[in-house]
């Protein structure tokens, strides 16, 4: 197949509330949205980059340049027989994995729509519903935190993740654990600690957490292995795992007990599926992380999370946890058992609301062969 037309846009879609991590605040989704057209069909993908290089090195500005000047021209020149081929088209490109993933997701969606197969079925998914949780940002004080968590628990979420940082770790986690003794609870530090804070992190062992996510540097694996030996709670790597090779290194070094797979972070669903298989083989449970995607990116995450070794709840909440209005006509809603239903329509199943998407688009380009 030859891709005939590529549309790329950068958007700004405000969140219902600001989202604060250990090191920065996000006020809106600043993704790139990619649309591929070929053989009378189209596919959509989202590169969920941030406004600044705070989570990883990519930003909306860098991804915009990469997408227009490098990636789209490469894909227009290539011939692909399957969605997995997109990965090979981009192998010469170093880094920039979220930008690459935007195109890769769109290719999966395009092939799925042409073949009449759901993305979940194409990937080898085995579940009709996926377990999900909610990620709770840093709050001004413990009272506010308990209010926010309480609202999510009332809404039906049975797994909660707390963002932590020095000065906002032990006490907030203790407060949530004491209020909800049976809640599935985990924490995420987004790379803010160093190994010499191991004793402080070990205090988190008291709270029966599912995992402690990415405590140390975004590009570290070795110190995480040292830290894991000093903790009872499994470490879960997020930022550090940017490819199947990184997953293999982490497994070999015993740097973690769990891996968070975000298909966007690793360049797409092809790499994500390889990491899933590698972890299944090594007995490492995985779960699907989130980048506060629109309904376009979220649909790809839900499909991926339907694979068998996604045995922990994902950071894939219902659309209304993020946006007043989503760019799709098929928003995800939370089922009573803290799951989301996996779409069965061809491709991702996302029905893009083009008029609304246009209204949140800052800039758009069209490229043709």
Given 161, 226, 262, 364, the catalytic residue: 262
Question: In the window 141-200, what residues touch Mg ion (CB under 5 A)?
Answer: 188
Contact 281, 273 (CB under 8 A): no
Given 2, 161, 163, 364, the catalytic residue: 163
Q: Tell me how far, at minimum, the Cβ of 237 lies from ligand SMG, in Å.
A: 11
Contact 53, 230 (CB under 8 A): no
The SS3 call for residue 19 is strand
Q: Tell me how far, at minimum, the Cβ of 158 lies from ligand SMG, in Å.
A: 15
Per DSSP, the residues of 211-229 read -EE--S-TT-SHHHHHHHT
What spatial distance separates the first Cα and last Cα of the chain, rounded to whole Å? 12
Nearest to 202 by CA among 227, 226, 225: 227
Report how far apart, in Å, the C-alpha atoms of 331 and of each of 91, 154, 170, 348 are: 33, 20, 35, 12
Which of 135/348 has CB closer to Mg ion? 135
Residue 254, burial from CB neighbour count under 10 angstroms (0-12, 13-18, 19+)? middle
Contacts of 261 (CB under 8 A, 6+ apart): 241, 272, 275, 276, 286, 287, 288, 289, 304, 310
Phi-psi region of 273 (alpha: psi -120 to 50; beta: other; left: phi over 0): alpha
Give the pairing type, strands 258-261 and 235-237: parallel
Contact 83, 271 (CB under 8 A): no
Which of 98/107 has CB closer to ligand SMG? 98
The interface region with Mg ion, picked from 63-71, 103-111, 165-173, 232-240 by CB under 5 A, is: 232-240
315: partner contacted, choices ligand SMG, Mg ion, none (Cβ within 5-8 A by kind): ligand SMG
For 295-308, b/e burial (b = at least 16 CB within 10 A) is bbbbbbbbbbbbbe
44: partner contacted, choices Mg ion, ligand SMG, none (Cβ within 5-8 A by kind): none
Q: Tell me how far, at minimum, the Cβ of 84 lies from ligand SMG, in Å.
A: 25
Q: Phi/psi of residue 147, each to 5°? A: -65, -45
Question: In the window 284-313, what residues touch ligand SMG (CB under 6 A)?
Answer: 289-292
145: partner contacted, choices Mg ion, ligand SMG, none (Cβ within 5-8 A by kind): none
The interface region with ligand SMG, picked from 10-18, 170-178, 270-278, 283-291 by CB under 6 A, is: 283-291
Nearest to 295 by CA among 332, 241, 346: 332
The reply to whether 130 sits near ligand SMG by the rule CB under 6 A is no
Q: Tell me how far, at minimum, the Cβ of 11 lies from Mg ion, in Å.
A: 22
Q: Tell me how far, at minimum, the Cβ of 139 lies from ligand SMG, in Å.
A: 14
Q: Taking CB positions, which residue lies at the least distance from Mg ion?
A: 238
Beta bridge partners of 361: 11
135: partner contacted, choices ligand SMG, Mg ion, none (Cβ within 5-8 A by kind): ligand SMG
The reply to whether 169 sits near ligand SMG by the rule CB under 6 A is no
The reply to whether 238 sits near Mg ion by the rule CB under 5 A is yes
Beta bridge partners of 186: 161
The reply to whether 190 sits near ligand SMG by the rule CB under 6 A is yes
- To the query of whether residue 364 is one of the catalytic residues in this protein, the response is no
Query: How many amino acids of this chain bind ligand SMG (CB under 6 A)?
Result: 15
- To the query of whether residue 165 is one of the catalytic residues in this protein, the response is no
The reply to whether 7 sits near Mg ion by the rule CB under 5 A is no
The interface region with ligand SMG, picked from 19-27, 59-67, 73-81, 141-149 by CB under 6 A, is: 19-27
* 315-334 footprint of ligand SMG as x/- string (CB under 6 A): x-x-----------------
Q: Which two tokens stand for residue 198?
A: 């191991």
Q: Rule CB under 6 A: which residues touch ligand SMG?
A: 19, 21, 26, 50, 55, 135, 188, 190, 238, 289-292, 315, 317
Q: Rule CB under 5 A: which residues touch Mg ion?
A: 188, 213, 238
State the catalytic residues.
Answer: 163, 262
């Amino acid at each position: 197949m030859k891709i005939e037309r590529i549309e790329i846009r950068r958007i700004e879609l405000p969140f219902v509330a600001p989202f604060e991590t250990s090191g920065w605040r996000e006020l809106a989704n600043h993704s790139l949205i990619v649309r591929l057209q070929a053989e009378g069909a189209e596919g959509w993908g989202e590169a969920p980059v941030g406004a600044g290089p705070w989570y990883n090195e990519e930003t909306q500005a860098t991804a915009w340049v990469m997408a227009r000047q490098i990636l789209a021209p490469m894909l227009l020149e290539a011939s692909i027989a399957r969605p997995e081929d997109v990965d090979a088209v981009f192998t010469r490109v170093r880094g920039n994995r979220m930008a690459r993933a935007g195109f890769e997701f769109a290719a999966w969606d395009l092939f799925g729509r042409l073949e009449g197969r759901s993305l979940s079925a194409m990937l080898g998914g085995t579940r009709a519903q996926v377990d999900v949780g909610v990620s709770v940002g840093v709050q001004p004080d413990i009272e506010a935190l308990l209010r926010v968590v309480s609202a999510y628990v009332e809404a039906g979420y049975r797994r909660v993740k707390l963002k932590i940082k020095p000065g906002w770790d032990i006490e907030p986690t203790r407060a949530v654990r004491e209020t909800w003794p049976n809640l599935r609870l985990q924490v995420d530090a987004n790379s803010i600690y160093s190994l010499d804070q191991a004793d402080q992190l070990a205090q988190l062992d008291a709270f029966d957490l599912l995992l402690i996510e990415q405590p140390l540097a975004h590009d570290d694996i070795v110190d995480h292995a040292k830290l894991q030996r000093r903790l009872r709670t499994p470490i879960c790597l997020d930022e550090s795992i940017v490819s199947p090779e990184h997953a293999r290194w982490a497994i070999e070094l015993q740097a973690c007990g769990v891996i968070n797979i975000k298909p966007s972070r690793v360049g797409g669903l092809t790499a994500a599926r390889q990491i899933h298989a590698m972890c299944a083989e090594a007995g490492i449970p995985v779960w699907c992380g989130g980048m506060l995607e629109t309904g376009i990116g979220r649909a790809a995450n839900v499909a991926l999370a339907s694979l068998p070794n996604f045995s922990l709840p994902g950071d894939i909440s219902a659309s209304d946890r993020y946006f007043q209005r989503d760019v799709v006509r098929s928003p995800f809603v939370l089922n009573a058992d803290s799951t989301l239903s996996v779409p069965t329509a061809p491709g991702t199943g996302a029905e893009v609301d083009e008029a609304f998407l246009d209204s949140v688009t800052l800039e758009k380009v069209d490229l043709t062969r």
